[in-house]
Structure 1
Amino acid sequence: MAVQDVKANSWTQPFCKSLSFWKDCSLPALDNPGLAWSFLIATALSLVFFLYTLRHFGGQHEMEIEESKTIPNDLINYVFPYVVSFMGLDLGSTGKTLGFALFLAWMFLISYRSGQILMNPLLLVAGWQLYEIKADMEGHKRQLRALSREPVHPKQRLRSCFIQGIYVLSKPK
């Protein structure tokens, strides 16, 4: 969104005027810097908080993996609504900005109510993978979907935390 808000004349100016990187470099000017920076900072803070929280879930149950296979396409299917929402947004137009905020609120509500809140396309970038696994959890055989930052292999013992229908896996400590 911030790139869409760059002033037209900023595209013709060089990013750095010389090789002295810190002295002669400047960011492009924005048409609506307050909103653009607010969205950018809110997004960055949300992403850092989300990834921090996801990495620090303590596993409540221990399981032994019997079978595992990756599900790469499931996360990609959630990318398209996010991409569509960023096309043609004019932060200078109050109606379009409020419409965008309403769209994001609806996307959040739909994701939350459908139990797919963890299906964020940025998880792929951060190294997380979605798996379909068969596991033995406390003597019960289960087939489930799980997110893991580490590769999941048979005979591996992992801890898990159950969040909205998806297990978040971690190595035992």
Structure 2
Amino acid sequence: MFRVIEENLVRQNKALMLLSLLLEEEFSRLMKSNPQSVSQIELSIQELMRQIVVERASLRRHIGEAVPGAARVSELYPSLDNEMKGNFQKLLSLMDETEQKCGTQAAKNNEMALALFDQSKNLLDFMHDQIKPKNTTAYGASGRFAKAPSNARLLTGRL
């Protein structure tokens, strides 16, 4: 049973390393301002996160089977020999380090995506301001000058 838990920890560790690489790739694609490729890699990241969650749920189930009432790997330490305990501690510290790296990279990606969103929104607002008529009159449906509304509206009408 402890071997199954160790294999699960190894899989999670490799998945987190892959997640770190995917987040770095996402950041490089954000820097290139290529939204289609960013959305493609985002789908891969989401699927990988789903798989990590499944692995974590499986790990908790295996831990509970190995030692009834246990929910964490550290609660298995009293029943492990020194070699297995050392392996678990090494894997857990590596996982923690990789998770911290992933969290930092995800925060950078979030900042970059929000900055690009703000930049696009400001550019769009500027273009709308440039297109909007400067004076308050514009041609109406009848071909005559009519008052233009002060802000954008989809429908205007009377009851």
Structure ranking higher in helix proportion = 2
Structure ranking higher in strand proportion = 1
State TM-score, norm by structure 2: 0.29
State TM-score, norm by structure 1: 0.27
